[in-house]
Amino acid sequence: MLSQEQYEFLSWIDKQPRGACLAQMYELNAPHFNRNRFEELYADKMLVKEFGEYHNETAAFYGLSDKARAAISEFERIREKEAEDKRQQRFQNKVSVVSAVMPFITFVLGLLVEHFAGVIRFLSSLF
């Protein structure tokens, strides 16, 4: 699975019109770009190389391989699942709080109903 840094770096490359060459990565400050991360991704066959022209010179442009696209999709799917799980957990926590408070509210309402006349007398004596 990809790390957050790898995901952001690969996503940046994917947004470039024809991939990116190393000079572009340095010049445009690609997110989380460093030479080690780049070489690791290239060695893992996440990047494919094509040659093109950059500033009137031939340069190697790197784009995403099918393996990288699948890894990005998997990363996004896992991230969406984790977010959904967190939302579900927050909802369950709210339900738990309501479940814990309901007996107390029921008790107070029961007391009020049972001793309504006494409560009214007490409150009227205050004013």
At residue 19, the 3 state secondary structure works out as strand
Assigned fold of 1-100: Arc Repressor Mutant, subunit A (1.10.10)
- What are the pLDDT digits (tens) for 30-62? 999 999 999 999 999 999 999 999 888 899 999
**What pLDDT score was predicted for residue 70?**
97
Residue found under tokens 């990363």:
75
Cα separation, 124 vs 112, whole angstroms: 15
Give residue limits of the domains in the chain. Answer: 1-100
The answer to which of 66-70, 102-106, 109-113 has the lowest mean pLDDT is 109-113
> Could you give the angle at the alpha carbon of 49 between the alpha carbons of 31 and 41, nearest 5°?
45
What are the backbone angles phi and psi of residue 40, rounded to the nearest 5°?
Answer: -65, -45
| SS3 track for 106-121 | HHHHHHHHHCHHHHHH
For the entire predicted model, the pTM comes to 0.71
